[in-house]
Amino acid sequence: MPKIVNHDQRRLELVDATWRIIAERGLDAATMRDIAAEAGFANGALKPYFATKDRLLDFAFEHIFAQTNRRMEAATAGLFGRAALRAYCHEILPLDDEKLAEARVAIAFWQKALRDPAKTALHERSMEQWRSAMAGFLRNEAEGTGGDAGSGGEAALEAHVGAIMDLVLGAQITATLSPAHHSPGQLVAQLDCLLDGILGSAS
């Protein structure tokens, strides 16, 4: 009787292997042969799932984006306004080894997206989801506290969300390149400083 293959599971195993190799060795080291070996497959076994390494990179980015979103959902459950926004951002900031590895994959993806409109569009769709969530948390904070998070209208709100996005995404680069100056404690302090500037001191 032929062996039943779970193709979805195999695809996930290959994506897992891809992002681990990229995180540890860089994009150029993530050859199809090495990815197959990391996942425990023969080299030719990749072709039915991913014809090229470039396609695998897309799936690796989508995979870490989905992982981050699942953590965000769990971290913000039951929270409101500033607390929810802070917890949400903590899941993007490279505050531990797993998130730092995800940041390295994101950087590899950005490098390709610079010259690939399809990857640029994929990234923009993903980031728009985060921007929308952050705007919602800022609105909730203003509504719940009577504060000024929403003062200045939508233009100010968009600027605040942009500043937060620039901090958390920029931290993925700076923490990778200059870890001594971007420790988890320093990154959290930077985020809190920015939120204080937008929302007022929490103390």
The domains located in the chain, with CATH, are: 60-199 (1.10.357.10)
The CB-side HSE value for 5 (13 A sphere, CA atoms) comes to 10
Per-residue confidence (pLDDT) for residue 41, from 0 to 100: 77
Q: Read off the pLDDT band of 36 (50, 70, 90).
A: confident
- Cα distance between residue 65 and residue 46, in whole Å: 22
- Cα distance between residue 87 and residue 134, in whole Å: 11
> Residue with structure tokens 């984006």?
65
Mean pLDDT score of the chain, rounded to an integer? 85
pTM: 0.83
Q: Annotate 49-67 with b (16+ C-beta within 10 A) or e (fewer).
A: bbeebeebbbbbbebbbee
144-189: pLDDT as tens digits: 765 554 456 788 999 999 999 999 999 999 998 888 888 999 999 9
Q: Which residues contact 178 (CB under 8 A, 6 or more apart)?
A: none
For residue 99, pLDDT over 70 is answered with yes
Per-residue confidence (pLDDT) for residue 150, from 0 to 100: 45
Per-residue confidence (pLDDT) for residue 1, from 0 to 100: 42
> Residue with structure tokens 């937008």?
198
Question: 151 to each of 1, 154, 160, how far by Cα in Å?
Answer: 68, 8, 11
Tokens of 53: 């390494």
Q: Please give the radius of gyration of the chain, using alpha carbons only, rounded to the nearest integer.
A: 19
